[in-house]
Amino acid sequence: MKPAPFDYEAPTTVADALKLLGSHEDARPIAGGQSLVPMLAFRLARPSLLVDLNRIPSLSGIEEKGGVLRIGAMTRQAKVLASDVVKRHAPLLVQALENVGHPPTRARGTIGGSCAHADPAAELPSAMIALDATMVIAGSGGERRVRADDFFIGAFETALQPGEILVALELSKQQGVSAFLEVSARKGDFGIVTVAARVAVKDGRCIDAALVLGGIAERSVRCAEAERILKEQGATPKAIDAVLAALPLDAVTMDSRSASAAHRRRLIPELCRRAIEAALASQVTP
């Protein structure tokens, strides 16, 4: 199929992009196009105006300043994956990106585009929530910052309001070790179940933990009770058993041809166990 007719603009500043988006009620921004272009082709999206963000230099780049890593929303996934500063600052993000699509799609796809699209089976939303990322949003009233856990609302639904643009993601230096695992039908496919795990251990005590499930509901699910158990009991074999017993399996609502909800519930405990154990195994000991 071919897209429905639309106008096209390619601004060079965020301000101009916002003006264009505000000038049409159904205008859409386009980043890497890995998700939007197929939707246009199947006429699932019919914007009257497409605003191309690729010529806005301020939206790309990776910068570490004052302990905060800022990644421009238009930065290609491949560039983030290859970045040494990202590997040092937020290894969980790198681990998640290794599961995103294939090299050609990562070469074109952007870090912000995937987040703004908010596919419930995508890897990056879960990683952002597990890393307590801050999403930087620009609109006619200026910039505002939203926690990742509040940014992702539902399937293909975020806190972005009409006429707003996701301009950057900000990450504090990751505490502890991490792992990102998924089960998918084929390498490069969206995950049937994804698990983002982060554990910080100091002097034998768990000082921080994050466990986020993706691909199971309309948005990624944070396992708050499981995290509490890890923090209170430490990352011991007994605690891991308690964590698995506390997983929110009742939150699984995704039921598709690729995997039933019941199958996803069966996968979650083992995948979580493996993710936590893989994270702990990556610790560097004296």
Domain ranges of the chain: 7-52, 57-172, 177-281
**Euclidean distance between CA atoms 211 and 242, whole angstroms:** 14
β-pairing verdict for 62-65 and 68-72 = antiparallel
Q: How many CB atoms lie within 10 A of CB 2?
A: 8
Distance CA 234, CA 242 (A): 11
At residue 190, the pLDDT reads 87
pLDDT of residue 286: 41
pLDDT at position 32, please? 95
Q: Which H/E stretch holds residue 213?
A: strand 205-214
pLDDT at residue 62, rounded to an integer:
98
pLDDT score for 284 = 57
Per-residue pLDDT at 235: 79
CATH number of 57-172: 3.30.465.10
Name residues of the chain where pLDDT drops below 70.
1, 284-286
The CATH superfamily label for domain 177-281 reads: CO dehydrogenase flavoprotein, C-terminal domain (3.30.390.50)
pTM for the model: 0.95
pLDDT of residue 283: 77
pLDDT at residue number 95: 98
- The CATH number of 7-52, from 3.10.100.10, 3.50.50.60, 3.30.930.10, 3.30.43.10, is 3.30.43.10
